């Protein structure tokens, strides 16, 4: 039951984008088309899941036993950067068009605070291994959900009549705000 | 001695991950045509998008794949196109040197202000509220085009109009997009007769708001009927190559100087 709570909470209630406001950069940058938004979501989910696992291992097997927890952030950065490199190579090999579509936002997952936030939150909440995995996958899926919803809305927005000064980033930020408001309705679902 | 523990830990971690990445790289390496890199180095690296691709890299890929001729890069011009053509062993393609031209002579003196504008000093802002000039087609004079030019090819002259330097202009088209009133256009460098007005107002109105406006009298269109037509109260040059040399003195009789040769003032 505890695991289900963590999973649902990571997707809906404590959604990284819409609750913590982390990872806004790719959320706005790659949410113009549903396909590329979906791929971005998958890439982030992959990096988040693996980061959660590896950072848990480093944290519990190396940092805590040797009392090096002040190295937490540095070592997590190392994990994230390597994983993003790996994902980048993989996507470039598998699908060059997708590599083009994700563009600069793919290497930017490295500096995506949502990933770092995930690793730090997992260690802050003192999750055990299984909980960390569930938390990582759930958070990634939550990001994917948010970015796909956003892309769906923005595809429709292209056809809408938007006042001149609000076109582009302006309306996107307003939409993100309204989405966050809607998602705040989930607070209190799990007590 | 305590410092050794974190140092060794981080070094070991870093080493571990780099081994992982090296192994992954061996498996996932993408073989890329070395010519792309070669062409890339020859390009101006302006990433301006004038070629129609999203940047110099995308253009280099297209050239190597033979989708576009080396002359597609207007910024690099002839020398770059020839270099690329020689490196790849293809035809450079025909290069038509283009340059941005200002189609307005509404100087501070000629085109009257509509009032005293104190808003944000950009053309786009002024255009939103109808513009600071009485003429609703002419240059607003805040220099949005000058600001977007990445090649330092434009400046505002003392009379409040933008001036394009033929030498520096690479015909990237950024200024054309930046102008809210569509006063700028890319023209062939050899085109020597231009219409310096975009006003669609009828003659009397046009003359009232600007001394140098086209008043659609039709003198030029009668002088060179094959090349110039009157459309919506404005003279339009359909095909400048059809303007015969003997037509030019007749065209230059334009009472408001709205059509004619480029003068010294119009050049950088």
Taking only the tens place, the pLDDT of each residue in B237-246 is 888 888 888 8
Q: Determine the Cα–Cα distance for residues A35 and A39; give it in Å rounded to an integer.
A: 6
User: pLDDT at residue B268 above 50?
Assistant: no
- pLDDT digits 0-9 by tens, B148-202: 988 888 999 888 899 998 888 888 888 998 999 999 988 888 888 888 998 888 8
**Parallel, antiparallel, or unpaired for β B98-102 and B184-188?**
antiparallel
Q: Which residues are bridge partners to B163 per DSSP?
A: B155
* B10 contacts A62? CB cut-off 8 A: no
Q: What kind and span of H or E run contains B73?
A: none
pLDDT value of residue B111? 86
Quick one: which of A188, A185, A137 has its CA closest to A10? A137
- pLDDT digits 0-9 by tens, B4-33: 888 988 899 899 999 999 998 888 877 777
Instruction: Give A176's pLDDT tier (boundaries 50, 70, 90).
Output: very high
**Cβ-based neighbours of A21, under 8 Å, separated by 6 or more:** A180
* A68 contacts B5? CB cut-off 8 A: yes
Helices H / strands E in chain A, number of each = 8, 0
The verdict on A68 touching B (C-beta cutoff 8 Å) is yes
- pLDDT digits 0-9 by tens, A154-175: 999 888 888 888 888 889 999 9
* B14 contacts A86? CB cut-off 8 A: no
Chain B positions touching A85 (Cβ under 8 A) are 21, 24
Q: What is the mean pLDDT of residues A2-7?
A: 88
Q: Give the nearest partner residue to A90 out of B10, B18, B28, using CB atoms.
A: B28
Which tokens is B208 given?
């009232």
- pLDDT digits 0-9 by tens, A88-103: 888 888 888 788 777 7
pLDDT value of residue A141? 94
Query: Distance, in angstroms, between B120 CA and closest chain A CA?
Result: 14
**Residue in the block written with tokens 């009298």:** B217
The 10 Å Cβ neighbour count of residue B89 is 6
* B10 contacts A78? CB cut-off 8 A: yes
Q: What kind and span of H or E run contains B154?
A: strand B154-156
Q: What is the mean pLDDT of residues B38-50?
A: 81
pLDDT value of residue A191? 63
**Cβ-based neighbours of A152, under 8 Å, separated by 6 or more:** A34
The torsion angle over the Cα atoms of residues B251, B255, B261 and B265, rounded to 10 degrees, is 180
When the pLDDT of each residue in chain B is averaged and rounded to a whole number, the result is: 85
Chain A positions touching B29 (Cβ under 8 A) are 89, 93
Chains A, B: CB contacts within 8 A come to 43
Q: Which residues are bridge partners to B101 per DSSP?
A: B185
Q: Determine the Cα–Cα distance for residues A170 and A164; give it in Å rounded to an integer.
A: 10
CA B54 to chain centre: 16
Q: What kind and span of H or E run contains A96?
A: helix A96-102
User: pLDDT at residue B214 above 70?
Assistant: yes
- pLDDT digits 0-9 by tens, B74-130: 787 778 888 888 888 877 777 677 888 999 988 888 888 888 888 888 999 999 888
Instruction: Give B211's pLDDT tier (boundaries 50, 70, 90).
Output: confident
pLDDT value of residue A153? 93
Quick one: which of A123, A147, A120, A132 has its CA closest to A50? A132
* B14 contacts A68? CB cut-off 8 A: no
Q: What is the mean pLDDT of residues A133-151?
A: 94
Quick one: which of A60, A117, A59, A106 has its CA closest to A83? A106
The torsion angle over the Cα atoms of residues B191, B194, B198 and B199, rounded to 10 degrees, is -160
Q: What is the DSSP letter of B2?
A: T
- pLDDT digits 0-9 by tens, A23-79: 888 888 888 889 889 988 988 898 899 899 999 999 999 888 888 888 888 889 888
User: pLDDT at residue B35 above 90?
Assistant: no
């Amino acid at each position: 039951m505890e695991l289900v709570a963590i999973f649902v909470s990571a997707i809906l209630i404590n959604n990284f984008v819409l609750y913590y406001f982390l990872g806004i950069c790719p959320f706005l940058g790659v949410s113009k088309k549903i396909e590329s938004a979906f791929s971005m979501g998958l890439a982030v989910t992959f990096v988040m899941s693996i980061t959660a696992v590896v950072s848990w291992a480093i944290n519990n097997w190396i940092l805590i036993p040797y009392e090096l927890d002040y190295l937490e952030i540095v070592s997590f950065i190392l994990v994230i950067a390597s994983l993003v490199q790996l994902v980048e190579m993989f996507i470039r090999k598998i699908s060059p068009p997708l590599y083009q579509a994700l563009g600069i936002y793919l290497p930017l997952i490295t500096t995506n605070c949502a990933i770092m936030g995930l690793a730090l939150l997992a260690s802050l909440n003192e999750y055990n291994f299984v909980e960390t995995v569930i938390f990582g996958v759930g958070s990634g899926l939550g990001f994917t959900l948010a970015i796909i919803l956003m892309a769906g809305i923005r595809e429709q927005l292209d056809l809408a009549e938007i006042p001149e000064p609000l076109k582009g980033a302006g309306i996107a930020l307003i939409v993100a705000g309204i989405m966050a408001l809607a998602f705040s309705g989930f607070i209190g679902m799990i007590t | 001695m305590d410092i050794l523990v974190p140092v060794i830990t981080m070094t070991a971690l870093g080493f571990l991950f780099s081994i992982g990445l090296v192994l992954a790289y061996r498996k996932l390496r993408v073989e890329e045509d070395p010519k792309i890199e070669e062409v890339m180095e020859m390009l101006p690296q302006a990433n301006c998008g004038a070629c129609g691709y999203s940047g110099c890299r995308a253009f280099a890929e297209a050239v190597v794949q033979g989708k576009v001729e080396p002359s597609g890069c207007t910024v690099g011009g002839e020398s770059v196109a020839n270099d690329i053509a020689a490196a790849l062993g293809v035809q450079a393609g025909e290069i038509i040197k283009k340059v941005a031209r200002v189609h307005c002579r509404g100087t501070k003196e000629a085109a009257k202000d509509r009032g005293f504008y104190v808003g944000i000093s950009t053309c786009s802002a002024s255009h939103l509220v109808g513009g600071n000039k009485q003429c609703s087609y002419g240059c607003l004079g805040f220099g949005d085009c000058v600001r977007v030019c990445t090649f330092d090819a434009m400046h505002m002259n003392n009379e409040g109009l933008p001036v394009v330097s033929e030498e520096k202009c690479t015909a990237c088209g950024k200024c054309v997009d930046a102008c809210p009133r569509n006063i700028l256009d890319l023209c062939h460098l050899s085109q020597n007769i231009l219409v310096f007005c975009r006003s669609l107002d009828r003659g009397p109105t046009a003359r009232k708001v600007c001394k140098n406006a086209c008043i659609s009298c039709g003198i030029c269109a009668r002088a060179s009927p094959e090349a110039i037509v009157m459309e919506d109260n404005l003279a339009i040059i359909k095909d400048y190559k059809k303007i015969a040399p003997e037509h030019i003195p007749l065209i230059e009789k334009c009472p408001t100087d709205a059509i004619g040769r480029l003068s010294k003032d119009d050049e950088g």
